[in-house]
A and B are shown apart, each in its own frame.
Chain A
Amino acid sequence: MKRALTLGALALAFFASQPAAQAAQGWGLPEEEEVRFDATVVDVLCELTGDCPDNCGNGTRQLGLLDGEGVLHFVHKNFTPFTGASWELQDFCGKMVTADGLFTTNKGYRIFVLQFVREGADGKWQRANRFTGQWAEKNGVAADSKEAKQWFRNDPEVQRLIDEDGVFGLGADADKAYFEANQ
């Protein structure tokens, strides 16, 4: 991988045609770019304001990737459905990582999807899909269970909110009217 990167354009062409095991996977997003870059993992709020709790807030803060040119990349997504990347990057707070994934640009905003990450240049590649395992552990089910794969339908907090306000957030009557009209 390292050797190929030094070969410049030739290497890029090579990787475009033969995706490596840990290389970004296209999702067909708007103005998608498959990228790999080195950056430091930072707490975004801390980076902006100097309000910096220990260890990037231990999972309570959105994390960003500060690259060598001082550009702060906001990380929106990890590799699992309906989930962000903060908990994927938490272990690397303040550390240099190589991030692999996708930039997408739409409506004037360029945001990042983290698919793989490794610490430094020689760390072990890790797929950014730890959310499911973490959720499964918290909820007392197996990581490969149906419940964990459909975590968003089984999450107690989500279920509580839907029970309270309905699927549309408009109350039980709105749900009832919709389901009666669309069954």
Chain B
Amino acid sequence: MRQVTRLLAAGLLLAGLSLPAAAATPERVQVTGEVIDTWCYITDIMFGEGSTHHQCALWCAVGGIPVGVLGDDGEVYMVLKVGDDTTNVANPAILEIQTHRVSVDGDLYERDGIKYLLIDQVVNDEGIVNVNHDDFGIQPFGE
């Protein structure tokens, strides 16, 4: 594994690309999408979107798994901050908007294939609009 990483790093250097700097400049963005539990969604271990997954998304957020926004562009944005609050483990403010469709303004940092979003402001909160529990039940245990 480490060998592979080294080879990749060497390959990047040979290709004339530099490795990411420690502190990069963010991009100002507005993202619209659904607040999700990133673990269940990325791994597909269950159906991880919408009302069907709301309870599990609360469990995971309270359990300290990173919460994200699944953008309408299909990208997953890992939320590291909301407003002035830089708590990004089990943040009670993020729990209140779990599964909601939101539009947020913030700074986007990309590092080693992951998109990290520092939200300044939730500019629109439509609540939970992805109502899919009649199709998928209660993920993952049915209760």
Contact = CB atoms under 8 A, between A and B. Distances in A.
Contacts of A36: 1
Contacts of B118: 45, 49
B50 to A, nearest CB: 9
Contacts of B99: 169
Contact of B64 (A45, A84, A107): A84
B55 interface: yes
A161 B39 contact: no
- Chain A, interface residues (CB within 8 Å), range: 35 or more
Given A167-B54, A168-B51, A84 B133 contact: no
A61 B89 contact: yes
Nearest to A9: B3
B80 A62 contact: yes
Contacts of B65: 76-77, 82-84
DSSP majority for the A interface?
mixed
A170 B87 CA distance: 26
DSSP majority for the B interface?
mixed
Interface residues of B, number: 57
A43 to B, nearest CB: 10
Contacts of A72: 20, 111-112, 114
Interface string B16-54: 000110111010000000000011011111000001101
A32 to B, nearest CB: 9
A70 B80 contact: no
Contact of B80 (A33, A38, A44, A158): A44
Contacts of A73: 112
A162 interface: yes
B128 interface: yes
A169 B128 contact: yes
A139 interface: no
B72 interface: no
A61 B78 contact: no
B86 interface: yes
Interface string B45-74: 100000110111011101111100000000
Nearest to B81: A45
A167 B88 CA distance: 23
A157 B62 contact: yes
A77 B86 contact: no
Contact of B95 (A44, A85, A111, A161): A161
For the complex of A and B, the 7 pairs showing the least CB-CB separation, nearest first, are A84-B64, A83-B63, A168-B51, A152-B59, A169-B54, A84-B65, A82-B59
Interface of A: 29-30, 33, 35-38, 44-45, 47-51, 53, 57, 59-62, 67-74, 76-77, 82-87, 104, 106-111, 131, 151-152, 155, 157-158, 161-162, 167-170, 174, 178, 182
